[in-house]
Chains A and B, each alone.
Chain A
Amino acid sequence: MIYLDLFLAFFRIGLFSFGGGYAALPLIQDAVVTGKGWLTMSQFTDLLTISQMTPGPIALNASTFVGTQVAGLLGAIVATAGCVAPSCIIVLILAKLYFKYKNLNAMQNILFGLRPAVVSLIATAGVGILFTALGIGTSLDFIALGIFALAFLALRVFKPSPILIISLSGVAGLLIHLIKPLI
């Protein structure tokens, strides 16, 4: 049955993709291109392009993309459910343990070590995105740098909603694109 197949294939992807983001890529390719033949390699490349232009984790984007191709909207829903099911089970177990034992000394000590490390992990991801957005290391993009600087300043000074800032940055990108040929 195709729905069960979809569910199980994405359950495995959800279960074995540690480290997030692009760590899931080889798993997805293995399951949907090599394994089941649900997508051709060129469809898989299209999926990557779309994933980069749309919000959401790549594993979820893949669930919907493959599900739709194979079995329509219901396929997309089933594949998405399969993809998040392992997270639901494992995270809820870890959450229960955390809330039950978080006041133990040993747990306090572990968390004492973890907190600064988490800040660094977020910073690591941030530096990667910053370098790509501004072209640092390739060719510095002064327009992107300008948008970044204004957005950063606005965030520090006025503390607006980040969604507002991201949207305004998108509008700025569009305006600059429209004005550019006129200068």
Chain B
Amino acid sequence: MKQLSLKTYLKLFWSTFTLSAFTFGGGYVIVPLMQKRFVEKLKWVEEEEMLDLVAIAQSAPGPIAVNASIIIGYRIGGVWGALASILGTVLPPLIIISILAMAYAAFSTNEYVAAVLYGMQAGVAAVICDVVLTMALGIFKKKNPYSIAIMLLSFVIAYFFNVNVIFVILGAGLFGLAYGYWGKRGHAK
């Protein structure tokens, strides 16, 4: 981990701050947003590494948005980077909820607020679909039948059988280990 300029830390902080402020609809939403910002726009992280980082974030307890921020911050700027990105992630909910805790009765029944949120939900769905499509095409393009099989199978298991994500992660990791050991004698690339 190299030392970065103050400007980079600020950029990291501001990136996670704005992403966190738009993470409507649950933790996973931040993953596509991060993919767009850090992989496609800033090019600080490669797509394949991003998937590794998400897997690690998912393997630890705690909110995935928080975990993903910590590990990406650490990858980009070491412990100080992790600190900058965690601050950026926790501040928006802290500010927004502090204000709303005082005025939530008026807020939660406001029809205009509801209309904006209704539109945003459709927009969030579009962002996720866009990123999933890009990522899935990336897997298909490698033309490795095992990767494609893992992807399809884990979707069926997680979506239709509601298996806890921890078991999906564990299973896929073990499969990779076994495949490398017996299938290709140590090289799974």
Which of A1-9, A29-37, A68-76 forms contacts with chain B?
A68-76
The 4 A-B residue pairs whose C-beta atoms are closest, nearest first, are A173-B119, A113-B176, A169-B123, A109-B180
**Residues of chain B within 8 A of A130, CB atoms compared:** 125, 128-129
Is A140 part of the contact surface with B, judged by Cβ < 8 Å?
no
What per-residue 1/0 map shows which CB atoms of A95-114 lie under 8 Å from chain B?
10011001001101111111
Task: State whether A80 touches B94 (Cβ < 8 A).
Answer: yes
What per-residue 1/0 map shows which CB atoms of A70-92 lie under 8 Å from chain B?
00010011001001101110111
Contact A90/B124 with A106-B177, A113-B179 known, Cβ cut-off 8 Å = no
Task: State whether B181 touches A117 (Cβ < 8 A).
Answer: no
Task: State whether B56 touches A151 (Cβ < 8 A).
Answer: no
**Chain A nearest Cβ from B29, distance in angstroms:** 7
- The chain A residue with its CB closest to the CB of B94 is A64
User: What's the Cα separation between A57 and B62 when bound, in Å?
Assistant: 10
List which B145-179 residues lie within 8 A (CB) of chain A. 146-148, 150-152, 154-155, 158-159, 164-166, 168-169, 171-177, 179
For the complex with contacts A91-B71, A92-B79, A172-B119, 17 further pairs of A-B residues with Cβ separation under 8 Å are A15-B62, A17-B62, A21-B26, A55-B22, A55-B93, A64-B98, A77-B94, A87-B66, A90-B61, A109-B180, A113-B174, A115-B48, A121-B58, A147-B123, A165-B127, A167-B120, A169-B119
Is A40 part of the contact surface with B, judged by Cβ < 8 Å?
no
Task: State whether B139 touches A56 (Cβ < 8 A).
Answer: no
**Chain B nearest Cβ from A44, distance in angstroms:** 13
- Interface size for A (C-beta < 8 A) is 96
**Residues of chain B within 8 A of A95, CB atoms compared:** 56, 70-71, 74-75, 82
**Chain B nearest Cβ from A110, distance in angstroms:** 4
Task: State whether B101 touches A65 (Cβ < 8 A).
Answer: yes
